[in-house]
Amino acid sequence: MYRTAETFLHVVYEALYAPYGTGYNYEGVNWEVLYKMAEGSKLAVLTYETAKRLSEDYIISEEILEKWHQEYLFGTEKALECKNAFAEFAEKAGEEGIKYTVFKGFVLADLFPNPLYRTSNDTDILIKKEDTAKIAKFLKKLDYQKDTHDSTGQVPVYYRENPAHRLELHYSLWEEFKGPKIDMLEDFGITDESSFLQMKAWDVKLTTLGYEEHLIYQMFHIIKHIIVEGMSFSGLVDITLYINKYGKYIDYSSFWKKMDALGYATFCESFFQCCIHYLKMDSSIMKRRSLPSVDMKGYLLVEMINKIMAPFQVEDEIKMQMLTRPYVDGMDAYDNPEKHLSEPEYKSVLKRAKEKVKAIHLWGLTCQETSAGEIEEKEIIFTKDLKAAKKNAPYFYQIYGLTVASEIEMSELIPGESTGIAKEDADVYVHYCEEHGMLQNPQLQMIQSNRVWFESAHGRFLVQNGNEIVADKKELHFSDEKIKPYIISHGLAFILYMKNIVTLHGSTVGNEEGAVTIIGNSGAGKSTISTGLRKRGYKLIADDVSAIKLENGVPYVQIAVPQQKFCRDTALKEGYKLEEIECINEIRDKYRVKLSDDEMCSGPGKLKGIFEIIPDTKDNSFRVEKADGLDLLKLMSANMFSQYLFSNSSGLSADMFQTTLQIAQQIPVYRIYRPTDRDTVEQILDEIIALVK
């Protein structure tokens, strides 16, 4: 679930910044869960167009896509009603001299690619209590009624049916909370009218909070939700867009001084780092600040997942609020909320309450040190004696220029004995973890320079130190056949990355003169072109994952698995009988053909050219373009296997960047645009062969 959440945030990233995609690999994604995350975060409207685009390359059920579409239609309609209703309110209020200050939703919506993408049908305004009667009378003229059920002493709520709109009138930004932290927030003068701004949001002129003041309020609001009832992913989007637009106007030194005084700093560091990591928020705000631990960021993501995927029943949610509320306003300085955890009435929420309190302590959002702060995670060590483990492994293989000692049989790989390397000296050790479920530990679910955790439909995997792959079946009855494809592809690709070996998502064929790598998106025609080159005398070096290793500064593509994968149509076109070849993915109609020694190159191939195949659906023209400069590096990085690694980290490491640059400087890289209304395979083959001569 953790990694699915990270994938969802990448969908959000593409929705915000990359309408044509990033090359991220969504293979094996559970789209039902992604939709639930979108809906539960009120981000379904923002992400619908991206999901629709991705459905062209990945299988998203019609039912899920239709739900997404309906949420999009409903959400945009609600947002438009809200905009029109508030625009009317603002115009009439101006005529009658009604004073108010807008904050949060309406201002933030204007930061989205389209304001309609921020789903809402209410507007928050700050007013003076003495103006209540005047505003209530004014609202009555506009057909608003008071919502007595949702109104509180500090926040009267008004609504009207047509067009649907809710107005929340705030006497205080801090609602009903009172305590030492609220007193401190008041002392900061956040509602001092001298700091207010006049601006236009969504074509409506309005008064709002100052830039720094609004950020402080938003962080209070987010922390309040995290502590009391949980928060979805939408807060990450709001803050990212706010900082990217208004960060240049904020005195970060002043902001952090206030966060340190409130005890919010550690949480803010964790929150901002998530915004930077997943949504590419401007990192200037973190200058001279500490980087949070993996736990601090991890618990934040887990809180968001729990809010959406495991919501409380109303009764239990109220219990949690009663337990954790004192942490919001600092009243835990006078009464320790943890003492109530042992009381019988909190039994139904005990597990989540303990997790919540632990996270609150981890983020420093408490006024006192208590037992939760002393909890330590159990250290997990996998293989104590790696050399002995490799020696005793029952299987030994070679692939991508590496030797692999394995506890898991992978018969499609080439035996390792012919390398002359002893099994105990193998480059990589592959095995299951000692106890089922060990890889569910949140401490392991991270990406670091020497550790990558990832998840598939059938298992969880940990790749570490460039020499070990640990697997953990999700269900004990799952067979090795369901597990090993992820070891051979993603697992070993991450090992190669740790060893500074570039891996491209594409096929490579070669002959005595050199090797050619074919890359492109799913359905571009990679298999068709590589098969066509084989018919013209080339032999296969690698299918799907092409590992490029520099040997004395010269790039060579390493021998992979002696097999080639085809989609159903290509397999039939090439003359294969489906009943005689192996189906490896029924959902995506993928088949595997095992190749003989005669069909494989005997060793690594010196790389002579890289060709990206691009279907031209717009002009249907055939053309060849050579990539160079920055465009060349973008092309290379976008086609690396797997994009999961780069989208969940800070991108290419310095060493990998230099290696990629070195390869790009030596090897010509071309884009071949092929028309989709006619067969140009032979023309493409002629061009490739001519260009690498």
CA–CA separation, 255 and 350 (whole Å)? 36
Both structure tokens of 78: 């609600």
CA–CA separation, 76 and 161 (whole Å)? 17
Q: Do residues 638 and 543 touch, judged by C-beta distance below 8 A?
A: no
- Say yes or no to pLDDT of 666 above 60: yes
Both structure tokens of 95: 């005529």
Q: What is the pTM of this model?
A: 0.58
* Domain layout of the chain by residue ranges: 71-305, 312-376, 386-497, 502-691
The SS3 of residue 124 is strand
Best mean pLDDT range from 75-84, 403-412, 595-604: 403-412
Residue 375 confidence (pLDDT) = 33
Residue 372 confidence (pLDDT) = 35
Compute, in degrees rounded to 10, the torsion defined by CA atoms 81, 83, 89, 93. Answer: 180
Q: Which residues, listed in sequence order, are joined to residue 673 by a DSSP beta bridge?
A: 614, 623
- Say yes or no to pLDDT of 215 above 70: yes
> With pLDDT > 90 as the criterion, what percentage of the chain qualifies?
56
5-63: pLDDT as tens digits: 889 999 999 999 988 888 788 888 899 999 999 999 999 999 999 999 999 888 899 99
Query: Other C-beta atoms within 10 Å of 322: how many?
Result: 15
Q: Which helix (H) or strand (E) holds 652?
A: none
Residue 380 — very low, low, confident or very high, per pLDDT cuts 50/70/90?
Answer: low
The pLDDT of 497-512, averaged and rounded, is 93
What end-to-end distance do the CA atoms of the chain give, in Å? 49
Q: Do residues 330 and 321 touch, judged by C-beta distance below 8 A?
A: no
Q: Do residues 667 and 610 touch, judged by C-beta distance below 8 A?
A: yes
The pLDDT of 583-612, averaged and rounded, is 82
Query: Which residues, 6 or more positions from 77, have their beta carbon under 8 angstroms from its beta carbon?
Result: none
Among 123, 110, 11, smallest CA distance to 68 is for: 11
Tell me the pLDDT of the chain averaged across its residues: 88
CA–CA separation, 370 and 338 (whole Å)? 8
Residue 613 — very low, low, confident or very high, per pLDDT cuts 50/70/90?
Answer: very high
> With pLDDT > 70 as the criterion, what percentage of the chain qualifies?
95
Residue 589 confidence (pLDDT) = 60
Domain covering 502-691 assigned CATH 3.40.50.720 in the classification? no
The SS3 of residue 502 is strand
Both structure tokens of 312: 């409380």
Query: Which residues, 6 or more positions from 249, have their beta carbon under 8 angstroms from its beta carbon?
Result: 211, 212
Residue 378 — very low, low, confident or very high, per pLDDT cuts 50/70/90?
Answer: very low
Q: Which helix (H) or strand (E) holds 330?
A: none
The pLDDT of 294-299, averaged and rounded, is 74
Both structure tokens of 134: 């005047």
The pLDDT of 347-375, averaged and rounded, is 72
Residue 368 — very low, low, confident or very high, per pLDDT cuts 50/70/90?
Answer: low
404-436: pLDDT as tens digits: 999 999 999 999 999 999 999 999 999 999 888
Query: Other C-beta atoms within 10 Å of 407: how many?
Result: 16
Among 232, 365, 252, smallest CA distance to 302 is for: 232
- Say yes or no to pLDDT of 336 above 90: no
- Say yes or no to pLDDT of 350 above 60: yes
CA–CA separation, 549 and 503 (whole Å)? 9
Give the phi and the psi of residue 557 in degrees, each rounded to 5: -90, 130
88-140: pLDDT as tens digits: 999 999 999 999 999 998 999 999 999 999 987 789 999 999 999 999 999 99
Both structure tokens of 532: 């066509």
Q: Do residues 511 and 535 touch, judged by C-beta distance below 8 A?
A: no
- Greater confidence, 587 or 530? 530
SS (H, E, C) 429-484: EEEECCCCCHHHCHHHCCEECCEEEEECCCEEEEEECCCEEEEEECCCCCCHHHHH
CA–CA separation, 617 and 18 (whole Å)? 19
Query: Which residues, 6 or more positions from 453, have their beta carbon under 8 angstroms from its beta carbon?
Result: 3, 439, 444, 445, 446, 447, 460, 461, 462, 463
429-479: pLDDT as tens digits: 999 998 888 887 766 777 777 888 888 878 999 999 999 999 999 888 899
Note the CATH number of domain 71-305. Answer: 3.30.460.40
Query: Which residues, 6 or more positions from 169, have their beta carbon under 8 angstroms from its beta carbon?
Result: 100, 125, 127, 132, 135, 155, 156, 157, 158
DSSP letter, residue 617? T
- Say yes or no to pLDDT of 590 above 80: no
149-182: pLDDT as tens digits: 889 889 999 999 888 899 999 999 998 888 889 9
549-564: pLDDT as tens digits: 999 989 999 999 998 8
645-657: pLDDT as tens digits: 665 555 667 788 8
Both structure tokens of 240: 């990212």
Among 60, 626, 270, 199, smallest CA distance to 49 is for: 60
**DSSP, residue by residue, 523-591:** TSSHHHHHHHHHHTT-EEEESSEEEEEEETTEEEEPP--SEEEEEHHHHHHTT--GGGSEEEETTTTEE
Q: Among the listed ranges 234-248, 407-421, 528-542, 616-630, which one has the minimum average pLDDT value?
A: 616-630
The SS3 of residue 297 is helix
CA–CA separation, 495 and 660 (whole Å)? 16
The amino acid occupying position 326 is P
The amino acid occupying position 671 is R
